[in-house]
Amino acid sequence: MTVTRIGIGAPADVIPVAVVTHNVPSPVSAMPVVVVNGPSGATGPAGGPTGSTGPTGRTGPTGISPTGATGPTGVTGYADTGPTGPTGKTGPPGNVGSTGAVSTVPGPTGSSGPTGLPGTASGTGATGPTGITGPTGITGSAGVATNTGATGPTGVQGNAGVTGNTGPISTAASTVTGPTGNTGPTGLQGAPSTVTGPTGIPGLATSTGATGPTGVPSIPQNSQSVNYTTVLSDAEGHIFHPSSDTTARTWTIAANSSVAYPIGTAITFVNQTLAGVLTINCADTMYFAGSPTTSGGRTLTAIGIATALKVASTVWIITGTNLT
């Protein structure tokens, strides 16, 4: 039996119909059966919850994947260069740079150029005869005595004489030197000579000048073991206080009014080891070097040395070691 559904895809108000055909053996005739489907029932409830995901299976071994042989390299394509484009316009010229400093080092002298060839000798031809002098013009009449007369007309100039023939060219050697050729460039400067030239002849002995004054051979010493005032002979000398005198002493530079030492006079004071302390006074004014406002007496202890210099008629400056 064959069942045929009728109305599949029909509108909602059409009831689908199934046609059933029975396969009945001959001689019974087949009778179609029409089956009418009823309306669809309500959808049943959904099934149960989804089960949990099972464990992941083991990863299978990696399959062998050999790399195939590299294929042949393809034919290189043509690389034709296109035609060169036209040249662009020339840009404007740049600014001219400042002129460099003039060199003070002279350039090397070039070698001399070859001497020019002598000029060709050419003898001078004989001078032709002088032409005939033309007749002198008529002299004008004398003017009036008080006024200068007009100048008479100039006479006609005679014809020029015929030029003589040029003399033969001399075959003798010319005595005229040809022009000198251009000077060649300066040659390179040679290396400095290592050979010392001969010593020049000594100059003639002239008269010897006057002998200058003999300098002071030493600083004269004046040993003192008492209180002391300087005298004129102490100038440019030193006054010495020996170690044998352990007593403190006072030494005084005399006033200009009593001993007029020249400006520039120096007097040195020396206090030896173990000697008593020296007090150095000045009857005029004496400044301590480096202290322009400090004047008066100074103290010089053992192994001390001090020098006083007269800088004005009544002014001295003193300086030294172990001097206070």
pLDDT tens for residues 189-199? 777 777 787 77
The tens digit of pLDDT for each residue in 212-261 reads 777 657 899 999 999 999 999 999 999 999 999 999 999 999 999 999 99
DSSP 58-92: PPPPPPP-PPPPPPPPPPPPP-PPPPPPPPPPPPP
**Residue range 136-151: average pLDDT?**
58
d(CA 306, CA 296): 15
Q: At 296, list the tokens.
A: 């008066």
Is the Cβ–Cβ distance between 301 and 322 less than 8 Å? yes
**Residue range 270-289: average pLDDT?**
95
pLDDT, position 189? 75
Q: 232 by DSSP, 3-state: which?
A: helix
Residue 257's alpha-carbon distances to 189, 260, 283, 309, in angstroms, are: 75, 6, 9, 17
pLDDT, position 239? 97
**112-116, 174-178, 279-283: which has the minimum mean pLDDT?**
112-116
Nearest residue to 228 via CA among 288, 273, 279: 279
pLDDT, position 315? 96
Q: At 202, list the tokens.
A: 């000594």
pLDDT, position 184? 73
Cα-based angle 9, 10, 12 (whole degrees, multiple of 5): 110
Domains and CATH numbers, the chain: 2-36 (no CATH), 221-323 (2.60.120.640)
Query: Is the pLDDT higher at 318 or at 294?
Result: 318
Check whether 207 has a pLDDT greater than 90: no
Is the Cβ–Cβ distance between 304 and 322 less than 8 Å? yes
The tens digit of pLDDT for each residue in 29-59 reads 545 555 555 676 777 666 667 777 778 778 7
